[in-house]
Amino acid sequence: GESVGLHLPTLSVQEGDNSIINCAYSNSASDYFIWYKQESGKGPQFIIDIRSNMDKRQGQRVTVLLNKTVKHLSLQIAATQPGDSAVYFCAESLIYNAGNMLTFGGGTRLMVKP
């Protein structure tokens, strides 16, 4: 299939290692943040979200950390597997009365070496 991102920053990790993907968001007023995974030829798939009143949230093998002071978001993937290879986007939600418009970051390609 076609590549989602040909010129994206790339993180290459060994299978079984932990991965950390970082994101700097733009708007200090944003109060909801999401990580999406996008495989080639597919739409973004929800991984985990966090609200601004939290610093950390854990899911299955994934953890999201939020540092509002420096407007930084990170996604940690434990025991990275080949199936985790994809492009990862962070997204922030502007306070919006009538919807859930997301602003996406530029994405990071994760490559998992077997």
The residues that touch another protein, with contacts defined as CB under 8 A, are 2-8, 32, 34, 36, 41-46, 49, 51, 89, 91, 93-96, 98-107
Between 18 and 96, CB nearer to another protein:
96
Neighbours of 21 (CB within 10 A): 21
Shortest distance (Å) from residue 17 CB to another protein? 26
Shortest distance (Å) from residue 46 CB to another protein? 4
Q: Residue 106: left (phi > 0), alpha (psi -120 to 50), or beta?
A: alpha
DSSP per residue, 45-90: EEEEEEETT-SEEE-SSEEEEEETTTTEEEEEESS--GGG-EEEEE
Shortest distance (Å) from residue 70 CB to another protein? 20
Between 99 and 114, CB nearer to another protein:
99
Between 19 and 93, CB nearer to another protein:
93
Please check whether residue 69 is in contact with residue 85, taking contact to mean a CB–CB distance below 8 angstroms: no
Between 41 and 114, CB nearer to another protein:
41
Shortest distance (Å) from residue 62 CB to another protein? 14
The number of helices, as runs of H, and strands, as runs of E, in the chain is 0, 10
